[in-house]
Structure 1
Amino acid sequence: MRMKTTSFQVTVAVLLLLSPETTIVLVSSLNIALNDDVLGLMVFKADVKDPYFKLSTWKEEDDSPCNWFGVTCDPYSNRVTELHLEGLSLSGHVSKGLLRLQFLQTLSLSRNNFTGLISNPILTQLIKNSQVIDLSENGFSGSIPDQMFIQCGSIRSISLAKNKLTGQIPDSIGSCSSLQNVDLSSNLLSGGLPKTIWSLTSLRSFDLSCNFLDGEIPQEKIETLFDLRVFNLSNNNFSGEMPDKIGESLLLKSVDFSNNYLVGTLPASLQKLSLCNVLNLRGNYFAGDLPEWIRSMKSLEILDLSVNNFTGLVPTDLGDLESLKTLNLSLNQFNGNLPESLVKCLNLSVIDFSLNMFTGYIPGWVFGLRLKDVNLSGNQFTGNVDFGESAAAFESLEMLDLSSNSFSGVIPSSVGNFSRLILLNMSRNSLIGSIPLSLGGLKAANVIDLGHNQLNGSIPNEIGGASLLEELRLESNFLTGSIPNQIQNCSDLTTLILSQNNITGMIPVDIAMLTELAFVDLSFNSLSGSLPKELTNLTNLVSFNVSHNNLEGELPLGGFFNTIPLSSVTDNPSLCGSIVNQSCPGAHPKPIVLNPNPSHSDHGSTSLNMSHKRIILSISAIIAIGAAVFIALGVIVVTILNLHVRNSLSRSAAVALTFSGGDDFSHTRSPSSDYGKLVMFTGDAEFVSGTHALLNKECELGRGGFGVVYWTALRNGRSVAIKKLHVPSMSKSQEDFDREVKKLGKIRHSNLVLLEGYYWTPSLQLLIHEYISSGSLYKHLHEGNDENTLSWRERFEIILGTAKGLAHLHQMKVIHYNMKSTNVLIDCSGEAKVGDYGLAALLPSLDRHLLSGKIQSALGYMAPEFACQTVKITEKCDVYGFGILVLEVVTGKKPVEYMEDDVVILCDMVRGALDTGRADECIDRKLKGDFPVDECVSLIKLGLVCASQVPSNRPNMEEVIKILELIQCPSEGQEEIE
């Protein structure tokens, strides 16, 4: 208010110095200008939906908009210069009202829901007239027009990030010499990087990450970008080498070229970047040794060279990078010892050396620094694990993964001093001795994994002190004693794996108090007694395996236990119940007989006894007759319903709806909603035998968790596959079903089974897919004869094709949810096609228990987080299933195989073989002729990485594809292409 008064006084003072006529003209012009800003903003508001009334202060009767929400004015002229409307959930189109703001310099509409083409002349004009434009995180679409950057005036900063922009970056961008900040990240842009960008000599920040840009990065004139601070080309498809002279942009602070297809060695000019804080080259094909000159980049805080093909030793002077906070060298081929010089990196917080070939002992600095995350898994480290009694990491460490090495000795009792530790993984080593009592001191721990070691003794009662535990894995050790009752204190526990030990005693009833439990495996122990009936209270159970024990008595009735698989309770000879096909001995009351002596002469007593027997016989007869009648009625009702469904389906085809091809998915409703709706996304609409053939069991191709699949033919002779969905009463409304299926129908990729149409009624839903004649991958791996077995090259191409199909689904924001070999089909040319994707979206909600029930056939493929309600299901769930599938293809074995006295978990078996240097023994013996063993072993490693227990440790599918292409021998890959 004070500022406004001052402005008014200045204006009055100026007017008093002018003639009356001039004063009148200026006052009139001033009022018109102020009203022009009000009018422009009100026109803009009229075209905007404002669900939270953030623009309620904007009123057309105001003389000035300078006090309006989000509006900034010049203090002297009172003209609008800035408009900040970020994150208000506004939607609609950007109207021409903003063009009336003649002095607008900054426009920020980020994090809203605005839509429309980016080529809209209004947006183009706004960009030309302003200095700062931020339209990020909206729904703008279309390609960027050339006109946007022609005569672009004084524009300094433009952000169009996180929209839906397509097409190429126009060459005209090079004409905006005043541009300092450009952010076009997270769009759908394609094509190459314009060479004209090197003309932007004022450029400071350039972010094109997360697009589909390709080609080589132009080499010439990059040194002209003297002021460049941020250069981000990550998550694209760039190939070739890094520009040799990138180090000539001496002010660079962040270089991120991660997740591309770049090759070669690191350009030596990088050592000139003494101010660089971030160097991220993750997920490329860089090779060779890590150069010694890397220590010259003194300001580095983040160095990420993971998922490449670097070899050799880590430079001994790497510790000269004393500013380092994050060091990630995982998934390379480094060897030798970790450099001792890193003890000088006092700011180091995160180290990841996993999945290399490092050897030797853990250096003292690992626990001497205040590290937060330590990952040394998947190497060849040896010796005892020594945390040290005064480790600085006790108060800082949150993640410690030492799994899959060759550590020996006992677990130090000081492990309980890690007061902030969230994850402890020391599995798959050669650790001995008992589990330290101090483990209960891990008050913050969510995951403790000590499986696959040689630990003995009992599970300590103190484990209950780790009250935040969600996962406890102690399988494949030599543990004895009983399951401690104190486990009930871990109320968040979702996963309890104690299999393959020597645990005795009864299953404590207190386990029933752990209501979050989803995965329980107590198999291959010596447990006795009966299963507590209270276990039926565990409503979140997905798997409960107590096979190969000495349990007895009746199985619990209710909940999960009504459908528990036989394999989960097998080899407990004294268990009884319908699941194990063994009746339980019961005490049935005998009829009351008043005269136990049949020769007694008392006629009255005899009469009463005979009368009682007649009553008993009558009741039994009534029950038997009633049951027979009930069954007969049930058969009749089911038969009538089936006839009704078939007739109604045939009628629905007869009234057939209008079909259309293309992307419009148009249709016409049938005259009666009872007949349902048939929609084809292709031009084919008529079936040879009528729709009744869809329910013909003779045409059945297979059954899965979501439905039954039938074969049929269209009038033109082309075959299609029809999936009849299970549990129609649980499917969404027709509108929701239509929307979700049409979304799936628009997905097109050579490695995905095409959805061609669908049929809907409230009681029946069908999905119409292209027919793949050569059957599933499961059939080729497990049901074929040795003569027709898949070759190694065929298997590799199937894995690569499956990865590409999944990656495309994830780009389309679709999670498969049910990745397994029966859902990968092989066409006549040997190409892999992923099917059954996105079906979970057809259910009313992504209820995990319902979904897990429908995909129990995918046992062994299910990611562990599927059972945890508090963990978000992401694409990493599919990556886990893909990893298991990779192991299945390489080994020829099923994910879970049941022997007479054993259960073989493929993932565990392969890990054990890899840990002991016997990975080549896992390769499918049906493979004939010469094949590259190194490729097989590399694929085994990739499968295990994808099947990591921790979702964040799994790569995404784009990274998987790049790793696969790296694994493939270049010469053979070239021959395949030619």
Structure 2
Amino acid sequence: MSYYIPKTKKEETIVITNYQHSNSIHPQRTRMKTFHLTLFTTFLISFTNFLTCFANNDVTIQLNDDVLGLIVFKSDLQDPSSYLSSWNEDDINPCSWQYVKCNPQTQRVSELSLDGLGLSGKLGRSLEKLQHLVTLSLSHNNFSGTISPSLTLSNTLQKLNLSHNSFSGPLPLSFVNMSSIRFIDLSHNSFAGQMPDGFFENCFSLRRVSLSMNLFEGQIPTTLSKCSLLNSVDLSNNHFSGNVDFSRVWSLNRLRSLDLSNNALSGNLVNGISSLHNLKELLLENNQFSGQLPNDIGFCLHLNRVDLSTNQFSGELPESFGRLNSLSYLRVSNNLLFGEFPQWIGNLISLEDLDLSHNQFYGNIPLSLVSCTKLSKIFLRGNSFNGTIPEGLFGLGLEEIDFSHNELIGSIPAGSNRLLETLTKLDLSVNHLQGNIPAEIGLLSKLRFLNLSWNDLHSQIPPEFGLLQNLEVLDLRNSALFGSIPEDTCDSGNLAVLQLDGNSLKGSIPEKIGNCSSLYLLGLSHNNLTGPVPKSMSNLNKLKILKLEFNELSGELPMELGKLQNLLAVNISHNSLTGRLPIGSIFQNLDKSSLEGNYGLCSPLLTGPCKMNVPKPLVLDPHGYNDQMNPRIPRNESSESSSPIHHHRFLSISAIIAISAIIVIVIGVIAISLVNASVRRKLAFVENALESMCSSSSRSGAPATGKLILFDSQSSPDWISNPENLLNKASEIGEGVFGTVFKVPLGSQQGRNVAIKKLITSNILQYPEDFDREVRILGNARHPNLIALKGYYWTPQLQLLVSEFAPNGNLQSKLHEKLPSSPPLSWPNRFKILLGTAKGLAHLHHSFRPPIIHYNIKPSNILLDENFNAKISDFGLARLLTKLDKHVMSNRFQSALGYVAPELACQSLRVNEKCDVYGFGVMILEIVTGRRPVEYGEDNVLILNDHVRVLLEHGNALECVDPSLMNEYPEDEVLPVLKLAMVCTSQIPSSRPTMAEVVQILQVIKTPVPQRMEVF
């Protein structure tokens, strides 16, 4: 048996405290444990004195506090599956405990491995007691919080694995400042901040380090080059920036894997990489590296994976690449590389994945590529390759082929038997290919994506396409196709996207189109299709986008199409359709551009006759019973004595009805006016009476005056006695149309803050129970994209709202008020903010009756949490106004210049949630362009909405994208988003989509379909 004997009074106190802490998980035994602990402490003191007497006799005691350290560590954890039930504080040592290993000679803990046990909690300092620890592995759990900077683990530690948790904050320097550490993996957490340059000062034994998938920023510590034994470095997926001195990196001659991908690093890859004789992986994608590639890269003969994509590398591919016989993965897409397709490519006999997309390569695709017999994926998209496709290439066992956006000519080669069994994606779009589409394509059993659009094929659609059981995307737009649409196109039932627009197809839409049960995009526009729209199309329950414009379709639209509740965009313009539009779905909200050109279609947006295949109503002509009533013939006496009597009676009835209605309306208006006047007099009397009474009195059921009410607490907290003392100028963080916002710490809880809005008193509800009722309604509007309202404080002179605090400020500051040194908002974060805002507004509009209308959607009211998730603030505050008048609201929101919907300034239009949709549309434009909605120049005023609309109409929309994005955005997301903004900012409120539809449209735009597709 071994004990830890305290040597000082301070250590004795620590032992007592820790021991009591360890027993906190057994409250029923606390009193007995305390008594025993007192006896035990007395014994320890006596035993220490006893040992002192024998100090000169060299008596040694083996100290062991592993049990104490582990029990205290366990007490801080939540163990829902009781994996640590074998950890017993009464044991002599922990060597028999599960997930604990000891050194057999010393019986001290050498390994603690708790990977994947679903544990949660914080990492305290109790593990410092494990002074002989060699391995500490806590990966794939739910640990969270910051780690104390003073944490000092055992100097015997060799392996530290905290990956796949939720740790945050900076790293303790002690983690690698241990000469013994060999392996450290902190990946997939939320560690943040800059790493001190001396972080790797003592990494003499370090072999592997992984800090990937965190939030580190700043430069990579230069002391990393001191880790001479390093063989693996993974710093990917962080926010590291600055110049990398690769001459230092190349000095790590034992390096096997280097991954710096997905950061904001810069620098040139200087020669000298050949010193890395053992290098197998070089992953630098998604950074800002530039210059030419090192000529000696081909002397790293063990290279297996090279990814240099999405950088600014220039020049030609080094010829030494041809020496890399082990290379299986080569990606250099999205750079500035140029030159002919290298002939040495055939030397890469192990090559499986090749991506040269979006560079400036030109020339023919070399026949030597056929020598790469292991090739499974080849991407040449967005270059200037010309000539024909080598037929032998389609004889390989390829899985994915993308030769799109080049200048290839000739015909599409027929696939071999080997290709028929392997190919899943074929994209030859935007080339100059000609000839028939090979029927063999219909035998590609695993094909999921086929895009042959924008070619000169002059072919019919092979009926064999119906045999493609796994096909999800079929895009044959603008390829000069003729003939009819095959009946069996949708036999597989898996087709999600069918785009046949811009061809010369004729005949009717097949009735079997209803078998395409998985379709969410159907594009048949700009063809010569005739006949009716088939009723079976109403079976396409997943359909979101329907494009039938510019055909010769006729007849009435089936009313059953109104059942398609997922439809987000429909265009049926320029056909010969007649009759009413289907009721339901999106059809009643289509704008003019989606309907025009159908002269028999019934819609108030269209001019011309409305033709419906229904019986005409019976019209009685009062003059039709007497030929003498022809107005061209003089009337005789009989005519004057008969027919006019009937005519007179008819007019009298109409007149009586009209006059009666007018009288009723007039009486009603007078009555309502009198009632309103009476009510106003009574209210004025009540208000005057209340002003003369004590301000603290309230009606029954009202909260006490001057008391802080928190919705999540039964009583008011004691951390606030006088709220006005907290609202000083130093804590002010913003000012809006409803009041001033302050950042206030939440009592004694470090690091937690709330936002308090001091409301303007003008026009705010003056009765506490009314205020309480409306605020509680807003407090119940809980959603991940809404700022949570936590409570309020009310007196007649002061009204405060308490809400959650968003640490990343508002969108306004990120777009227009950021420091020059701050990085711009990335496109993924901008899209995340758009989608989150749309979801929050949709919740307000569709989860409450009546809907909660914001009235003031703009970037300053979109707050951002630490992960750039949007949080809408100030929602529903209009409910706190005593009178909701459109003119009052318009005047109040003059600061939202450019965001106010037209109907807010028009007395004759009904104001509803569509005014929020308008503001959201303007905000889309501001997020995409980085410009304000209204900008004043020296000689002109730029209205952003009109500016973008003109650019869209002229096909130059990308000219308006925020230059700070540096072209790092997907066009197939930006363009549909801009078009969505145009729909949202329609001058006619009924033409704008609902926010629920906006959410669906954004989700469709973000859907990872591997092609560009138009949403509208």
Taking structure 1 as the reference length, the TM-score comes to 0.66
Distance 1:269 1:235 in 2: 25
Residue 279 (1) aligns with residue 437 (2): no
Distance 1:495 1:475 in 2: 12
Report matched runs for 1:431-580 at 5 Å. Answer: 431-578=457-604, 580=606
Partner of 1:424: 450
- What is the aligned counterpart of 1:47 among 39, 58, 76? 76
Q: State the SS of the aligned residue for 1:820.
A: helix
Contact 2:382 2:404 in 1 (8 A): yes
AA of the residue aligned to 2:501: E
Report matched runs for 1:669-818 at 5 Å. Answer: 672-674=771-773, 676=775, 728-730=844-846, 744-746=862-864, 758=874, 760-761=876-877, 763=879, 775-776=933-934, 779=942, 783=946, 799-801=961-963, 803=965
Distance 1:627 1:514 in 2: 50
Residue 865 (1) aligns with residue 1012 (2): no
Q: Residues 413 and 520 of structure 1: is their aligned pair in 2 closer, same or farther, counting only changes over 3 Å?
A: same
Distance 2:893 2:279 in 1: 54
- What is the aligned counterpart of 1:130 among 157, 160, 170? 157
Distance 2:670 2:337 in 1: 72
Partner of 1:231: 258
- What is the aligned counterpart of 2:127 among 74, 90, 98? 98
**Cα deviation digits, residues 122-179 of structure 1 (max 9, x gap):** 2x425x44211112233333333444433x0311111222323211243241321100
Contact 1:349 1:373 in 2 (8 A): yes
Contact 1:282 1:306 in 2 (8 A): yes
Q: Residues 523 and 513 of structure 1: is their aligned pair in 2 closer, same or farther, counting only changes over 3 Å?
A: same
Q: Residues 72 and 560 of structure 1: is their aligned pair in 2 closer, same or farther, counting only changes over 3 Å?
A: farther
AA of the residue aligned to 1:472: L
**Cα deviation digits, residues 466-510 of structure 1 (max 9, x gap):** 320000000000000111112222211111000000011111111
Partner of 1:120: 149
Moved more, 57-66 or 435-444: 57-66
Residue 154 (1) aligns with residue 180 (2): yes
Residue 175 (1) aligns with residue 202 (2): yes
Residue 340 (1) aligns with residue 367 (2): yes
Q: State the SS of the aligned residue for 2:527.
A: coil
Distance 1:81 1:262 in 2: 43
- What is the aligned counterpart of 1:407 among 422, 427, 433? 433
Residue 949 (1) aligns with residue 1013 (2): yes
Q: State the SS of the aligned residue for 2:230.
A: coil
Report matched runs for 1:599-638 at 5 Å. Answer: none
Partner of 2:640: none
- What is the aligned counterpart of 2:978 among 804, 816, 820? 820
Q: Residues 761 and 194 of structure 1: is their aligned pair in 2 closer, same or farther, counting only changes over 3 Å?
A: closer
Residue 386 (1) aligns with residue 413 (2): yes
Q: Residues 807 and 483 of structure 1: is their aligned pair in 2 closer, same or farther, counting only changes over 3 Å?
A: closer
Distance 1:331 1:764 in 2: 55
Contact 1:527 1:550 in 2 (8 A): yes
Distance 1:107 1:141 in 2: 18
Contact 2:842 2:996 in 1 (8 A): no
Which 5+ residue runs of structure 1 have no aligned equivalent? Answer: 1-27, 599-608, 682-689, 692-722, 809-814, 825-834, 837-847, 857-861, 867-872, 878-944, 952-978
**Cα deviation digits, residues 395-453 of structure 1 (max 9, x gap):** 11111110011111111111101110110000011111210000101110110000011
Q: Residues 54 and 550 of structure 1: is their aligned pair in 2 closer, same or farther, counting only changes over 3 Å?
A: farther
Q: State the SS of the aligned residue for 1:464.
A: coil
Partner of 2:277: 250
Distance 2:663 2:445 in 1: 66
Which 5+ residue runs of structure 2 have no aligned equivalent? Answer: 1-59, 627-645, 688-694, 696-704, 707-722, 734-742, 744-752, 760-767, 780-785, 789-796, 799-837, 882-888, 899-931, 936-940, 986-991
Q: State the SS of the aligned residue for 1:397.
A: coil
- What is the aligned counterpart of 2:732 among 661, 675, 678? 661
Distance 1:92 1:634 in 2: 68
Partner of 1:351: 378
**Cα deviation digits, residues 808-834 of structure 1 (max 9, x gap):** 9xxxxxx9999438979xxxxxxxxxx
Contact 2:197 2:220 in 1 (8 A): no
Moved more, 571-580 or 616-625: 616-625
Distance 1:387 1:192 in 2: 52
Contact 1:728 1:762 in 2 (8 A): no
Contact 2:171 2:191 in 1 (8 A): no
Distance 2:879 2:481 in 1: 55
Partner of 2:422: 396
Partner of 1:266: 293
Distance 1:378 1:184 in 2: 38
Q: Residues 455 and 74 of structure 1: is their aligned pair in 2 closer, same or farther, counting only changes over 3 Å?
A: same
AA of the residue aligned to 1:203: L
Distance 1:634 1:241 in 2: 83
**Cα deviation digits, residues 692-727 of structure 1 (max 9, x gap):** xxxxxxxxxxxxxxxxxxxxxxxxxxxxxxx99798
Contact 1:248 1:269 in 2 (8 A): no
Following superposition, the deviation at residue 348 of structure 1 comes to: 1.1
**Cα deviation digits, residues 308-338 of structure 1 (max 9, x gap):** 1111112112111111111000010000011
Q: Residues 49 and 580 of structure 1: is their aligned pair in 2 closer, same or farther, counting only changes over 3 Å?
A: farther
Contact 1:464 1:490 in 2 (8 A): yes
Contact 1:577 1:584 in 2 (8 A): no
Residue 853 (1) aligns with residue 1015 (2): no
Q: Residues 633 and 196 of structure 1: is their aligned pair in 2 closer, same or farther, counting only changes over 3 Å?
A: farther
Following superposition, the deviation at residue 554 of structure 1 comes to: 1.9
Q: State the SS of the aligned residue for 1:99.
A: helix
Distance 2:964 2:358 in 1: 22
Following superposition, the deviation at residue 339 of structure 1 comes to: 1.8
Contact 1:50 1:90 in 2 (8 A): yes
Distance 2:562 2:958 in 1: 45
Distance 2:421 2:600 in 1: 50
AA of the residue aligned to 1:160: L
Contact 2:194 2:219 in 1 (8 A): no
Following superposition, the deviation at residue 358 of structure 1 comes to: 0.3
Report matched runs for 1:206-217 at 5 Å. Answer: 206-217=233-244
Following superposition, the deviation at residue 948 of structure 1 comes to: 2.3
**Cα deviation digits, residues 642-670 of structure 1 (max 9, x gap):** x99xx9xxx9xx99987643465531687
Q: State the SS of the aligned residue for 2:296.
A: helix
Contact 1:208 1:232 in 2 (8 A): yes
Following superposition, the deviation at residue 622 of structure 1 comes to: 12
Q: Residues 352 and 629 of structure 1: is their aligned pair in 2 closer, same or farther, counting only changes over 3 Å?
A: farther
Q: Residues 746 and 636 of structure 1: is their aligned pair in 2 closer, same or farther, counting only changes over 3 Å?
A: farther
AA of the residue aligned to 1:276: L
Q: State the SS of the aligned residue for 1:503.
A: strand
Q: Residues 276 and 584 of structure 1: is their aligned pair in 2 closer, same or farther, counting only changes over 3 Å?
A: same
**Cα deviation digits, residues 5-51 of structure 1 (max 9, x gap):** xxxxxxxxxxxxxxxxxxxxxxx989x84xx4443323212212334
AA of the residue aligned to 1:125: L
Contact 1:329 1:353 in 2 (8 A): yes
Taking structure 2 as the reference length, the TM-score comes to 0.63
Following superposition, the deviation at residue 361 of structure 1 comes to: 0.5
Distance 2:114 2:975 in 1: 38
Contact 2:861 2:874 in 1 (8 A): no
Q: Residues 354 and 592 of structure 1: is their aligned pair in 2 closer, same or farther, counting only changes over 3 Å?
A: closer
Which has the greater radius of gyration? 2
Contact 1:416 1:442 in 2 (8 A): yes
Distance 1:625 1:86 in 2: 81
**Which protein, 1 or 2, shows the higher relative CO under an 8 Å CA cutoff with sep ≥ 6?**
1
